[in-house]
Amino acid sequence: MSITVEPVSEAVGARITDIDLREDMSPEVFKAVHQAMLDHQVLIFPGQEISEEDQIRFTRHFGEPGGRNRKVPTAEGDRVSHPGIMLISNIRKDGKPIGSLPDGEMMFHSDGAYAKRPFRYTMLFAIEIPSVGGNTKFANMYKAYDALPAALKTRLADAHAEQVYYAGSVQKDKPSDSLTGSRIHPLFTAHEEPGRTALFASRLITTRIDGLPEAESAEILEQICDIAERDEFVYEHVWTPCDLVMWDNRCTNHARTDFSEGERRLLRRTTVMGVDPLPAAAAA
């Protein structure tokens, strides 16, 4: 059995077909999928009618499944069979969302960037999708780094930035009361597999560049986020039920477009634990 890999944009991403994720992957198929991840950073597996158990099994192929770093009870409660599963949904029961991140547009971010070990991969499976909106945008952070002005690369070569996230926040100016995590990581990181340099910053989670005056830090962060979010570096995925999309948080950011509150949206997320990011300067 061999998979088919079809790029979906010049920015990032590929569609993977000729694979059924209800079946376990052979070593040869896993190797092909893993290589496609390294080559394209975002993979779309359409038409996958998978259970929670199927998704967890697929997730485990790539490493240790991530947990839920919450200091308050999760919205999912006992609706999921594994502690690492997150439901992303605006569906409400007794007035309360059955999942996390229920409503509205969400700024670009990288899952787990605020932790010592940010998530290596995220897998998101579509169950119910609104007729319009709720799309996921993926930004290629390799290309973002490459596009930075040379003088800025030199100036920030050894820089670190603070990553902060509050549970459930989708916009930077609307944090919740629950601090999920805060961590200072290198601004330019080396992907530990190909060693390629990526920009590790996002509009939602990155709060400041360590050691710079507040105004200067804010100005530079705005500049680099504007570069990272250029249309030519972004692929926008329009969801179809039974899509499973997998992405590499080490070299991509993602965001969500707005959608109607009157339509149901339900997706199931799993993650894979990563490593403490290595500064690109140390890997050079």
pLDDT score, position 206: 98
Please say if the pLDDT value at position 79 is more than 90.
Answer: no
3-state SS, residue 39: helix
Please say if the pLDDT value at position 21 is more than 60.
Answer: yes
How many folded domains does the chain comprise? 1
pLDDT score, position 78: 66
Write out the H or E segment, with its range, that includes residue 128. strand 119-128
Give the pair of three-digit tokens for residue 53: 């158990």
CA–CA distance, 91 with 74 (Å, rounded to integer): 15
CA–CA distance, 43 with 40 (Å, rounded to integer): 7
Of 108, 99, 75, 126, nearest to 234 by C-alpha is: 108
Phi, psi values for residue 207, rounded to 5°: -100, -30
pLDDT score, position 68: 63
In this structure, are strands 86-89 and 266-273 parallel, antiparallel, or unpaired?
antiparallel
Please say if the pLDDT value at position 283 is more than 60.
Answer: no
pLDDT mean across residues, the chain: 94
Section 79-91 average pLDDT: 87
pLDDT score, position 70: 54
User: 208 is in which domain, residue-wise?
Assistant: 4-283
Please say if the pLDDT value at position 72 is more than 60.
Answer: no
CATH for 12: 3.60.130.10
For residues 70 and 247, the answer to whether their CB atoms sit within 8 Å is: no
CA–CA distance, 139 with 134 (Å, rounded to integer): 16
Report the percentage of the chain scoring pLDDT > 70: 95
- pLDDT digits over 34-44, tens only? 999 999 999 99
Section 124-131 average pLDDT: 98
Section 132-149 average pLDDT: 98
Please say if the pLDDT value at position 129 is more than 90.
Answer: yes
Section 148-153 average pLDDT: 97
